[in-house]
Structures are given as C-alpha cells and as structure tokens.
Structure 1
Amino acid sequence: MHTEKHEHASDFVDVLATPDLLALDGAIPKGGQDPVHERIGGASLGRPIVYALKDTAAGHDPAGRDRVLLVCFPFDLEELPGGRRYEEVTLTVRLADDLHALSLHPAAGTVTADGTRIAVFGLGGHRLRWTFRATGRGGALRPDGRWAQAVVRMPSISADVSGRLSLSTTTVQRVLGGPLRRRAAQTPHDTPFRIPAAEAWPTAATRALRAALPGAWALPAYEGREGREEGGGHTDGVPEEGNGGSGPSEEGLPPGLRRLCLAVDIEKYSARDNADMVHLQRVLLRTLRSACEGAGVVWDRCGRQAQGDGYLLVLEPDTDETRVVPRLLDGLAEGLAAANDRTEGITPRPIEESAGNPRRIRMRASLHQGIVHEADSGYAGSAVVDLFRVLDSAPVRSALDKSPGTHLVAAFSDPLYRDLVGTGYEGLSADGFERAEIEVAGKNFTGVAWIRAVRPESGAGR
C-alpha cells in the first residue's frame, strides 16, 4: 500500500495481499492445456480496518445480542505503463454469512469531484460490491488511494469479522492511434481476511444521518461525498465478480428482500427548456432528501436510482411504514410547495400561481412494497415494474390534471393501501382516496391503485 499518501494511516494500514490482475482473454496453447492468462497489472489489498461504533441509531439491540462495526477496505492498483489506463475497477467483498451491511460508503450513485461514478450493491446483505468508473472516452481512474466502507451488524457471539476480497478491472489502450482496446482482468483468487472483533478500534462516535463516518480520517479524503446523484450500473460486456470471468450467473440470484419502494416523476418535464430541466432535477433531489430527513429515513441506507425527471427510492428493510409513509408524502408536498413559492436557481422568472402555468413544479408519486433484487444495472423485481406501471398510468396522470391546486398526487398499490390505510394509523386516513383500475395495454398489466392529492399538513402552498 502507498501509505505515505494516507494521512494518519501509516500506523494502521497493513498489506493483506498483493495479487496479480490477470487478463480474462487468455491464450489457449497447443495440446489442450489450461489457458495462459497474461498479467495486466497488480493490486495491493489492505488489511481491513475495523471500528466499534457506539450505535444509538434506530434498530440497535439493547439486549446486546449484536454489535455494529465500521469496516474499511483500502486498496491500491499498480501504475500501468505504455499509455494504458484503468477505466473501471470493482471491489467485491464477501462477508461471513452472519454479517450484513446496514449502510455502504461511498453510497450508490455517488459521483466524485474528478467525475468518477460509483455503483454500489449489497445493502442489507453480506455480498458487497463497489464499482468505480471513469467518465468519458478519455477518462482514467487514479490507481492509488481507493477505499470502501461498510457499517455492518454482527452477532455478539461471533469472534471475528471475516470474509473474502477480490478485484476486477477494465483497462484501455489506444492501438496505433486507432480504436481503444479494452481488456478485462481480475485477481486469480479471492483473498481471505479475518479480523478479531477484540481488535476493533474503539470510538464513541454515533452514526449521524449525513456526517462522515469515523474511519474516513484513516484513509484518503473522499471527494464529493455530497456529489451528484446518478444511476448505477455496470459496463456491458465486462465480466463481473467471481473467478473465471463467467459473470454474475456464477453467483446465482442476488438476495431478494422485501422493501418499501417510492417512485416519483415530474409533470411536463419534457416541455421545459434545458435550464428548467437542470433546475427541476436539483429541486427533485433536494425535495427527496429533505422529505427523507423529516421522515427519519437515512438517505445513505436507501437504494437510489435517478431517472432524469424521476427517481426511485428503495427503503432499507424493516422500515416502519406506518410512520414513514405519511411523513414522506407530507415532506414531498411541503418541499414542492416551498419550491413553487420562491424564485431561485436557474429559473429567474417568477412562478405564477395560475393552475395552467407549466412552470409550476408538480409530481406524481407511487408507493408499493415487494421483493426487490439488486441487479447488475439497477433494482429488479416485479415490485419495481408494477410500481412504475402505476406511476405512469392514465388514472394517476389524470388525477394530477384534475387537481390543479395541488403539488403532489400519490398512488398506493392495493396491497399497501390495505395494510396501511383505514386502520387508524396517524396520517393515513382513507379520506380523499379514490380507487382506480389500472390497465396498461401491451404490457399485460392490470391492477388496482388508490389515488389521492397530497396537501402538506402545514398548509404551505394551498
């Protein structure tokens, strides 16, 4: 490890292993022997650093049956000669089965100050993956000073934090001034690690909602922690985790967890000019984050997928839907009302109050719960598909058109409505809901949704 670049880290970061990165496109020699894989480069995997967190956040077990730890995974890549550069690198962490991730850092969708995009998968599970990707045809990843962090829950009876680490990369090189040649490589085997829990560095720090977690000081400063939000994914055609380059199929189906999902979409987004589109995306992200904070939802623990004029939010498992759902919707309505009441950002012209003015910012929202998988380029599962079928349906669009005085119309799936509404939960009265039959021609989809206009409790924007 290049520990001289890690302020305060030289006393803590030990080298766990220095594996080679072998090309997946190995040559097959005569005689039927095993393919010969060319060495593309090398890597240095740091010994994971473990911190014991004093966890006072929701979900902490007062009986002491589990522990909450912050585990840091530092690694470096070898400098490449001959004009070659790293376009993408993926760190895969397979924790022991009794560990699972409460939050991941950097978070999914992060974009650093140098333009590196980061896709993250594994929240709620023990198989974690961070993919760092350079942007643009000429983009290049710096090889050293990279890291990832996971806050994990571990049973108190477990004595060690253990698992396996592996790396895969995509390198590019221009051939004789012509096209770029891309080559996928990976470490030839997983590197095991085992850190006694008794060796965890103590800290009295609690997990703040949006503050940097303890441990970040021991590694290179992370640029753009509050950076732009973009969708995750993986480069097509580049093999992913696992040995042999056979891709995700070798790992089988990703874990399926029952999650509460929220999708939102901005009304008449495509009718705006370019400056307005940029402004609307900023308002969308700011409104969502503020609504989550008001509802007690930790942004960095949610699955997130940006879609231009819309956004998908996959809340962490075991969310208290009876409290979170009404607070989220109220926060969204209040945020939209506030955005429409002020003149800011790139939109210099006043936003008038006339219902037909297309400059007003209004949204449709859809909520549903079901089994969700973290797939290679986003969130997969019929629950996500059904969520967007309802969001884009004619009855929900019509409900927004027929409610010119409101900023937000929300649609509940029928199962979620039956679970939450009309049972006496605060903020979840059946008043104002209308039942709608949803049918999407050509998509073989029929269903029932319950739709109502949402007005903020504070009365803002009424």
Structure 2
Amino acid sequence: MADPSRHLVLTVDVERYSGRDNVLQWRVQQALPRIMQQAREELGLRPDGWLVQPSGDGQLAILPQGTSERTVVTRLAPTVDRLLREHNHGLAPEARIRLRMGVHEGLVHLDGGNGFPGEAVVTVCRLVDSPQLKAALRRFPDAQVALIVSDRLYQDVVRHYGDLRPEHFLRVTASLPEKSFDAVAWIHLPGENAAAATAEQPVPAATPDQPAPAVAPHQSSAGGQTFQHITAHGPAAFGNGNVVTTYGSADGATPHRP
C-alpha cells in the first residue's frame, strides 16, 4: 500500500434521480459530465490529474495537488449553478437537474482496488447525503446547486476571502445517525442567503425524494413577533450566542418541549 496524499475531494449528486424514468436518467447521465467539464474549463481548472469516479447520479472527484482551493470552494458552485440554469431553461420540472455539491480535503489513497480509500472521501459523501443539505435545496426552489463545505475549508477559505459572503453560509451539524456520522459544515446556495432564511424557517426533517413540509407563517402578538420552534446557528443567531433555540406557540398556549 502506497502512502496517502492530501487532496481536495469533490462530490456532486443529482436531486431526485431515482424517481425519474429510464429516459430521463439517461439524459441526466449525458448532461452531468458535460456541465461539470464546461465549468472546469471556464474556471481554468485543467482536467489533467482529475480522478473522477462516476456513480450514475453523481460524481466523486479527487483533485490533483496544487488545485486552487479558493477557486473550487468559492467559484465552482456559482458557475455550475449558472450552467444548470441554461440547461434547465424550458425543460419540464421532472427533467431539470439540480445538484448537491460537497467539498472537503484530506488524505486519500490513490491505489485503492475499488475506489479511493480515505476518511476524507467518506466524509464528503456523508456531507452531500445529509438531510440538512437536502432540506436546504428543497427550501430554495430557484437554486440549482446547494453547496456544503467542511468546517475546515470554511475557516481556511471562505472566512478569509471576499469571493462569497461568509454570513450567507448556514452553519449546520450534518448528521446521519444510521451511519454514526456528525460533522460541523457550512451550506451555501448561489444567489441566496441561507443563514437569514433559516433564522425564519427551521430546516424541515424530510426523507429523500419527499417534499419538504409547509412552514407556518409567523404571527404577531401584542408583545411583538412570536417565533416558533426555531434553531439558528452562526451569523443568523440572535444576540451574542452561537446557537439559539426557542420553543413557543403563537396562541399563548404552554410551549411544547421535546
């Protein structure tokens, strides 16, 4: 076994792929590699050294050492979002492509017999499959891409440069209990303020391929606004804390606590 090397790891997954018929799945598989290749070319990310593992409804890519982390973390998702808007224009809703995208970095073994062994690969796949990211993409129906980056990349790249506004990222704990996985990560949707929207609406708990439940509008009382079952993180939190959770009811009834 050769020594591992440190790489950026990228994965993308098509929303609601399994619910499409055979023809639409075929069209997705034709379009996805072309769109990702076009995005790389526009950003000057040379394909030399990219190790891409297709999965039918997505891709896992191990990026060559020396690839610009700043470009991949802050510019790739907006570029893919624009290209998908062009692709989806005029298509029926069931034929449109929307993506979940994850970026992480870490040690990877490039000599695996059936893929790329390494915790970094497992982590980025878990991030993209997390219900928190799926719910964020459902919440913004006009977005074509929902990006999730590991806390390490957010702190090293997003927070220090002005390519994307850090306060528009939503801090979450990406959780897959059945996989014993929990990790702090940050969600961004190009053109949207994920953090501000979540301060008003909780992330709906939904299973894959199910629409998010409707969220009741806020109601006002004599004392001002009443917020119900809200959890806010990071820049969206109220006051000077990092996490704020409130439980209440608009009609003054005794609050329900889980």
Judge same fold: TM > 0.5, yes or no: yes
Match of 2:186 among 407, 431, 450: 450
**Percent identity (aligned):** 35
Please, which of 407, 416, 431 is the counterpart of residue 144 of structure 2?
Answer: 407
SS in 1 for 2:142: coil
Alignment match, 2:38: 290
Aligned 8 A contact 1:262 1:366 in 2: yes
- Residue 123 (structure 2) aligned to one of 364, 386, 390: 386
The letter for the 1-side match of 2:15 is: E
**Cα offset, 1:320, TM superposition:** 1.9
Match of 1:276 in 2: 24
Match of 1:319 in 2: 67
Distance change in 2, residues 1:338/1:272 (3 Å): same
* Separation in structure 1 between the aligned mates of residue 164 and residue 116 of structure 2, nearest angstrom: 28
Q: Deviations over 1:318-348 (max 9, x none)?
A: 222123432222221121111111xxxxxxx
Q: Which runs of 5+ in 2 are unaligned?
A: 193-258
Give, in angstroms, the shift of residue 379 of structure 1.
1.1
Select the residue among 171, 174, 181 that pairs with 1:438.
174
Q: In 2, distance between residues paired with 1:254 and 1:272?
A: 41
Secondary structure of the 1:379 match is coil
- Residue number in structure 1 paired with 2:134: 397
The aligned residue for residue 110 of structure 1 is none
Counterpart selection for 2:156 from 384, 405, 419? 419
* Distance in structure 2 (CA, Å) of the matches to 1:426 and 1:296: 20
CA deviation after TM superposition for structure 1 residue 429, in Å: 2.1
Q: Distance in 2 between matches of 1:416 and 1:254?
A: 26
Partner of 2:96, secondary structure, is coil
Structure with higher helix content: 2
Answer 1 or 2: which has greater strand percent: 1
TM-score normalised to structure 2 length: 0.70
Higher relative contact order (CA 8 A, sep 6+): 2
Map of 2:100 onto structure 1? 364
Whose radius of gyration is greater, 1 or 2? Answer: 1
SS at 2:104 equivalent: strand
Unaligned runs of 5+ residues in structure 1 are 1-252, 342-349, 457-462
The one-letter amino acid of 1:445's match is F
**1-side partners of 2:71 and 2:124: how far apart?**
20
Partner of 1:301: 49
Q: Is the 8 A contact 1:420 1:428 kept in 2?
A: no
Task: Report the counterpart of residue 43 of structure 1 in structure 2.
Answer: none
Deviation at 1:440, TM superposition (A): 1.3
- SS of the residue aligned with 2:108? strand
Count of paired positions = 191
Q: Is residue 428 from structure 1 mapped to residue 181 from structure 2 by the alignment? A: no
Secondary structure of 2:91's match? Answer: coil
In 2, Cα distance between the equivalents of 1:337 and 1:254?
A: 42
Quick one: distance in 2 between partners of 1:337 and 1:287? 11
Kindly indicate whether the alpha-carbon contact (under 8 Å) linking 1:333 and 1:455 is maintained by their aligned counterparts in 2.
no
Shift of residue 393, structure 1, vs aligned partner: 0.5
Output aligned runs, 1:132-211, within 5 Å. Answer: none
CA distance in 2, matches of 1:397, 1:435: 14
- Pairing partner for 2:91 from 342, 348, 351: 351
